Chain A
């Protein structure tokens, strides 16, 4: 900011400084927002409330929010198994947020291939799976990625911007509904994140 105020700089340089300032400010804003969100979720200031709503709509809404981003990278989003509608006890707003965080990561960490969405109903849990063909994870990272601020090691992951808060927020949202998020992955081949919701 100071640099852009110095008279010795050209208009072009100032514009570039300001543009960088804007980018950084947006990043700080996003980080603050994410930190507040997780703090409020954990302390119960934000209530995650299950209501009977269409889970398929929640999934489709989340997918819509990353479609532009995926299209820009040439990544098709394939909806593999999804009924037309499914009335299911969940918090549609927060579940969408959790799904968006997972989908956002899938797009960010996938260079080529596709992202596949599927919904499966088991006897006790119903889960939405988000599978990507991205950089994947080593088994010892499975648990660590859900810890706050953790960033996956390795060149490919470090090149992608992130705060390390998206996954902890997503897991907290699912846990507050009696569900969970798990990951299965293979380095270099891709990851599948499963978002579990209790059937009753």
Chain B
């Protein structure tokens, strides 16, 4: 199986939302959120791997990565990544008393991830103070 790029993952996530398929009924919201979150995580990992000093962080817990992010990326973008990741994480999990996210919510997050992916990929690097 070939490695999926963040944009492949996001494309899959969108397709899932768009598919009026009985086979995916009920599970699509969380599956879609999972794919979008993977796209986010993969982008951050790619970001770490771009520099030898931080390459190892790609294997650290996501929390660690998110903690370090503001030190290497501009703070607003880092905050946005943390927020979107947290929101998607919630959507991934089955909370017994919470309802699955609705399509428009998911689409919004996928849009957010997409713009963050672009932003990070085009290499907006913080000073790493």
To the question of whether A and B form a pair in one complex, the answer is no
